[in-house]
Amino acid sequence: MNKLSYKISEFAENCGVNKETIRYYERKNLLQEPSRTSTGYRIYSSDDVKRVRFIKRVQELGFSLSEIYKLLGVIDQDNIRCQGMYDFVSQKEEELQKQIEDLKRVETMLKDLKQRCPDVKQLHECPIIEMLIVD
Amino acid sequence: MNKLSYKISEFAENCGVNKETIRYYERKNLLQEPSRTSTGYRIYSSDDVKRVRFIKRVQELGFSLSEIYKLLGVIDQDNIRCQGMYDFVSQKEEELQKQIEDLKRVETMLKDLKQRCPDVKQLHECPIIEMLIVD
DNA sequence: CTTGACCGTGTACCTTAGTACACGGTTTAT
DNA sequence: ATAAACCGTGTACTAAGGTACACGGTCAAG
């Protein structure tokens, strides 16, 4: 049963976030200004719940809020939705691959450093330190 | 030719960092208080250059400054140097592997999302969005 | 002997993604 | 009618790793 109007606390809980986070997203223009009661309370719909959950899901894929802001711009425009989305995902995938490569390179370096260690590790000279301290 | 005394600007330049960064490292106790001229100017040696470069190199391996702080504590103690260093590197390697696994999982999800896209991407319905919007 | 280039200290500011709180109005239950 | 539990706004704070000023003292060259 989809409710048609939530106040901020119930809304936030439904979205799985803090209500301060909702206000924060509003400030960051990820959510447009909600309608208000006569006394100024924010009112949200179940579409808004979907939007916040969408944001959270995309965020888990490694997108920053500012990237999501741009992404929502593309989605909200509606006509070039699909191409924009595809490009967005493709670009992020590329970034991710670079990041993974970087981490792997570091991993290799760490492994390499470890291999230089002598069997008796109570020595005063540490080859790892020597390696990192050169010139 | 190793100079025996640098003032902060020359020192920072030699280390490849900003001089504010040097002061910052001092505040964070990564560098001990340097000796001073009679008028209070900081004086550094080429050993200090090595130390900062060491910090930078280790930082590039993915260690945070607070980890490096602990690491320097181990190194400065000198007697259990090697064991401490080995453990440090081993632990970081493990963390790194977890991080790589996480990123790979996301990469797989992105690839999966892309595959759902139709050949003609000018459609109004975008399967990526549909996938991410499901409640 | 004065100008510019240093140096000192302390503090504010930056980014990201929020969290926390204080002060005051509103709504709901008793 | 009054207290609890909401809501509003604005501001400050968090972590990490710095950067950027402002204000004042110092040092070297002309």
pLDDT of residue B129: 75
- Taking CB atoms and an 8 Å limit, are A61 and B86 in contact across chains? no
Exposed (0-12), middle (13-18) or buried (19+): which is B44, by Cβ within 10 Å? Answer: buried
Question: Cβ within 7 Å of strand D: which of B 4-43?
Answer: 17-18, 20-21, 23-24, 37-40
Closest Cα partner for B61 from A27, A12, A113? Answer: A113
Q: What is the DSSP string of A29-92?
A: TSSPPPEE-TT--EEB-HHHHHHHHHHHHHHHTT--HHHHHHHHHHHHH-TTHHHHHHHHHHHH
Q: Which residue's CA is nearest to the C1' of nucleotide D27?
A: B39
Residue count of chain A, please give it.
135
In terms of phi and psi (left: phi > 0; alpha: psi -120 to 50; beta: otherwise), the region of B117 is beta
3-state helix, strand, coil in chain B (%, to 5): 65, 5, 30
Q: Higher model confidence: residue B122 or residue A38? A: A38
The ipTM is 0.79
Whole-angstrom distance, CA of residue A47 vs CA of residue A52: 9
Beta carbons of A40 and A60 less than 8 angstroms apart: no
- Taking CB atoms and an 8 Å limit, are A117 and B82 in contact across chains? yes
Q: How far is the CA of A51 from the C1' of C28 (A)?
A: 30
pLDDT of residue B25: 97
User: pLDDT tens string for chain A (135 positions)?
Assistant: 566 799 999 999 999 999 999 999 999 999 999 999 999 999 999 999 999 999 999 898 888 999 999 888 877 776 556 777 888 889 889 988 988 998 898 888 888 888 877 665 555 567 777 777 765
Whole-angstrom distance, CA of residue B53 vs CA of residue B40: 25
Whole-angstrom distance, CA of residue A40 vs CA of residue B72: 55
pLDDT of residue B49: 94
